[in-house]
Structure 1
Amino acid sequence: MTDPNAQPPYEQPAGQPQQPIAPAAPFTAAEDKQWAMWSHFGGVLSWIPPLIIWLIGKDRGRLTDQEGKESLNFQITMVIAWVALLIVNSILLFVPLIGGLIGTLLYLALLVVQILFPILGGVKVNGGGTYRYPVNFRFIK
């Protein structure tokens, strides 16, 4: 049964333009710093957390926009480095004995870089500063 007192669903009158959705409120200074910090820490997992944080927060906080781009650019650089390492390791497989050792050391070095630099960035931003990665191609300006 239907409720006789129920309101009918709201419908936009024909010919009326749709009302725009209001933009989200800007971040406070503390929120801006927090989201900027998380954009760096999220980079330890992959490139997806910095991308999501930057897309959601770029218009809401200056620091989140700046640090989110920096973190995302570093993650894109890391993806390129991993692909290059895959190619190099494929070639090194044909070098007996020493090729596997070099490939393993390169793999471990890249893994340490991908974990260490985002943690350093998150700590620096949480302390009130900004962070620039030492090796970073800036694809997103």
Structure 2
Amino acid sequence: MKVRRLDQAKQTERRIVSPDGNWESTRMLLKDDNMGFSFHITTIYQGADFQMHYQNHLESVYCISGEGEVETLDDGKVYPIGPGTLYILDRHDKHILRAFKEMTMACVFNPPLNGKEVHNAEGAYELDAEALEG
């Protein structure tokens, strides 16, 4: 069994801050944990407005706190996000995430991330991204 605390994990290299300044993510569970998925607590900063397209991963996102919206680009639908909302990117959906108030999200990725991933030019995570050390 493994036990991790968010406050402790935030003090390690498990905390990744996006180069574009839109978010930070503490990767609580990663590929090397051998669970078949990864689990992250991600903060989307207020005012963030950015496009993502997870071509290599499926993701589900549960909003713990904050307020925003997600827009699916294939159909132009806009979905409000608030505490208690789960959105599921089950079709590698190209989308825009907007944070009106800072949002805390619990995110699950399949296949699992290695740990150091940040979005590429397409808004995706690479499958072969470098793993965290230790």
Higher helix fraction: Structure 1 or Structure 2? 1
Query: Which structure has the larger Rg?
Result: 1
Tell me the TM-score normalized by structure 2. Answer: 0.24
Tell me the TM-score normalized by structure 1. Answer: 0.23
